Structure 1
Amino acid sequence: MTQPDPVIEWLLDSDPAIRWQVMRDLIEAPEPEWMAERAKVETEGWGAKLLSFQDDDGQWAGGAFLPADFDPHEWREHGQPWTATTFSLSQLREFGLDPSSERARRTVASLGASARWEEGGQPYWEGEVEECINGRTVADGAYFGIDVSRIVERLTGERLDDGGWNCERVRGSLRSSFASTINVLEGLLEFERSTGGTPRSREARSTGEKFLLERKLFRRLGTGEPADERFLRFLHPNRWRYDILRALDYFRSSAMLTGADPDPRLGEAIGHLRSRRSNDGRWLLDWTLPGRVWFHVDEGQGQPSRWITLRAMRVLRWWDSQASIRH
């Protein structure tokens, strides 16, 4: 008999939001088993806790992007607050709340009826104006069964000449950013997974991927230097921020949807990911964003992170399994 993997055991000794993904992605449990575990997200642990903070109108903290009691001093002194609807809904998607559940259907219907973006009063599922926000709105909407095709069409027309996106475009930016691009790519991928996508959305996803791949996921195209040292440090929850693990997990999901082979330009980022594995087989949380949250889902900076470890292990499992097929 094979010895149990202590890292897998550690991951399974956790919340349903972690356990069901370990069962599906790392130990290949039968689908009925991981689906049963996934169903617990609604009623147990982090998912149930986050749902308990929901307002009667379906929102969180009384606002779409900002809490109703938001004061600009809070952002300057303590960091951006993360308790409002858009970040709570994205976290439920990360947890894996079943989109077919009654609670999920009621939530997205309520948001469509009552939530409005602070920027211009637009109905929630019509999207905001910023590409980063709209990318995540597309991901959440597509995941939870909302027709977000109008936001997708808008995003495909907002690409910059280098193939990606930048939420500073309206203020004159002509170059794409890593963060804006990954937010949009994740949205387009979720849209493609749920609907098949459109020719324009698939083509836009291809150019956005090329933007990241040409830069090896973290380098400047001109100098080859790291565009931001923080891209190489692992963050959770990402919110709108970028790191190479987020990008690698995206490319894994994309390849699993389309059947594409892993792109060799991911190799340097994969090597860095391997190098950051601790001797005990786990990965640490390097940093986390400041600001108000409902609750924490990691043990703290510098501590082993189940979320980082889960994502890293499934990326490497995918990469190594495809490498063995190729060779």
Structure 2
Amino acid sequence: MGIIEWLLEGDVVIQHLTNKYLLDRPFNHHNEGYIARYLDLYDAVHQEWGGSIYSNKWISSTYTLLELKYMEVHPDNASYQDATKKVLNGLWTNHGRISKTRYQDMCMSAMLLSLVCYGKISAVRINEIVDYILAHQMDDGGWNCAWDSVHNSSTVGSVHTTISVLEALADYKHYGYNYRLNEIEQQVTGGQEYLLNRELFKSRQTSEAIHPDMICFHYPCRWKYDCFRALEYFAHVDYPYDDRMQEALDLVKTALKKGYINRGKTYPGRVHFPLESGPKGRFNTYRGLLILRNYDNKAYQEVIETDFRYE
């Protein structure tokens, strides 16, 4: 069986992503499959999932909405719209100031920006979030949630925060927002270089992986970084191949040699329901193929033309 055929035997969400991003053909999931299961768990009375807008990981509204966004729920869906507006109202108040000494967490602010832009929501506070992000880029080009930490402040970027910000700013541009767009594009270049200068996963001091998790596939990614999340971001913004991607791309090719990529490590916390069972991960396999299709089409063609055994 070919790897594309195997993907197309998966949930309707996987079928949609495979058709749209690997096969270039239309496919409407009609908010079915995994998406329908998430929507069925929505608390319409309180306009949220998991009893909270953020803190109840990973079943809160924020993290459920991030999964729905990745699965490409129809953005005009009433549950998506209402829950996102409640998250915006809950997480962004007083121009982002949450106490006398601190502002809203930068990762949370970026994830919030992604969610509202996907829903094409119009609110003055979106401009405030953009102002906040642009005001706090580090000198190395990255962003860091600890920029204003009272006890553990930092003046250097974090890969976790930086990828969230870059994804958010990509969504901001993609969905037609234009406030301070020229400045955004300049800062995005700095953020991209911040990741590429680390070859997507390396410490600048040791040239080794920052952490073993940086070279492991994870789905869902939550707020955390790995080099494959970075490659997927670069693919979605049509960033041209760069030699500094190569070691991470080699890891993708190696992972796909067996015809699938593992489900990967999961992060501790509650989930609404398991997305996949067994060692094989269709989400991660799709992600790996998307990356290869964009950056090593020869390797991509070899993989999709190979017959594998799926048991």
The one of 260, 263, 270 aligned to 2:249: 270
Question: Would the aligned equivalents of 2:58 and 2:270 in 1 still touch at CA under 8 Å?
Answer: yes
Which stretches in structure 2 are left out of the alignment for 5+ residues?
A: 301-311
The one of 11, 36, 41 aligned to 1:53: 41
1:201 equivalenced with 2:201 (yes/no): no
Offset from partner CA, 1:92-135 (integer Å, 9 cap, x none): 101110113444444445555xx523xxx839999970111111
Question: Would the aligned equivalents of 2:75 and 2:81 in 1 still touch at CA under 8 Å?
Answer: yes
Distance in 2, matches of 1:124 and 1:17, equals 36
Distance in 2, matches of 1:92 and 1:225, equals 34
Report the 3-state secondary structure (helix = DSSP H, G, I; strand = E; otherwise coil) of the residue aligned with 1:116. Answer: helix
Aligned to 1:313: 289
Distance in 2, matches of 1:14 and 1:125, equals 41
1:206: how far off?
Answer: 1.1
Aligned to 2:11: 15
1:184 equivalenced with 2:184 (yes/no): no
Aligned to 2:268: 290
1:229: how far off?
Answer: 1.4
Question: Would the aligned equivalents of 2:87 and 2:112 in 1 still touch at CA under 8 Å?
Answer: no
Distance in 2, matches of 1:210 and 1:92, equals 29
Aligned to 2:108: 133
Q: Which amino acid aligns with 2:243?
A: P
Aligned to 1:223: 206
Give the TM-score normalised by the residue count of structure 1: 0.81
Distance in 2, matches of 1:46 and 1:278, equals 27
1:7: how far off?
Answer: 1.5
The one of 83, 86, 90 aligned to 1:116: 90
Distance in 1, matches of 2:71 and 2:95, equals 21
Offset from partner CA, 1:23-68 (integer Å, 9 cap, x none): 0111222x3xx1x23xx22xx221111111112232112221124x
Q: Which amino acid aligns with 1:173?
A: S
1:158 equivalenced with 2:143 (yes/no): no
Distance in 2, matches of 1:143 and 1:212, equals 24
Aligned to 1:98: 74
Judging changes above 3 Å, is the alpha-carbon distance between structure 1 residues 124 and 10 closer, same or farther for their aligned structure 2 residues? farther
Question: Would the aligned equivalents of 1:160 and 1:174 in 2 still touch at CA under 8 Å?
Answer: yes
Question: Would the aligned equivalents of 2:292 and 2:299 in 1 still touch at CA under 8 Å?
Answer: no
1:237 equivalenced with 2:220 (yes/no): yes
Question: Would the aligned equivalents of 1:218 and 1:227 in 2 still touch at CA under 8 Å?
Answer: yes
Which stretches in structure 1 are left out of the alignment for 5+ residues?
A: 68-80
Judging changes above 3 Å, is the alpha-carbon distance between structure 1 residues 196 and 261 closer, same or farther for their aligned structure 2 residues? farther
Relative CO higher for 1 or 2, CA cutoff 8 Å, sep ≥ 6? 2
Report the 3-state secondary structure (helix = DSSP H, G, I; strand = E; otherwise coil) of the residue aligned with 1:168. Answer: helix
Offset from partner CA, 1:122-149 (integer Å, 9 cap, x none): 3999997011111111111111112423
Distance in 2, matches of 1:12 and 1:106, equals 32
Aligned to 2:305: none
Percent pairwise identity: 27
The one of 29, 51, 54 aligned to 1:65: 54
Q: Which amino acid aligns with 2:68?
A: L
Distance in 1, matches of 2:159 and 2:39, equals 31
Count of matched residue positions in the alignment of Structure 1 and Structure 2: 287
1:186: how far off?
Answer: 0.6
Distance in 1, matches of 2:263 and 2:96, equals 33
Aligned to 1:77: none
Backbone CA RMSD of aligned residues: 2.4
Q: Which amino acid aligns with 1:145?
A: K
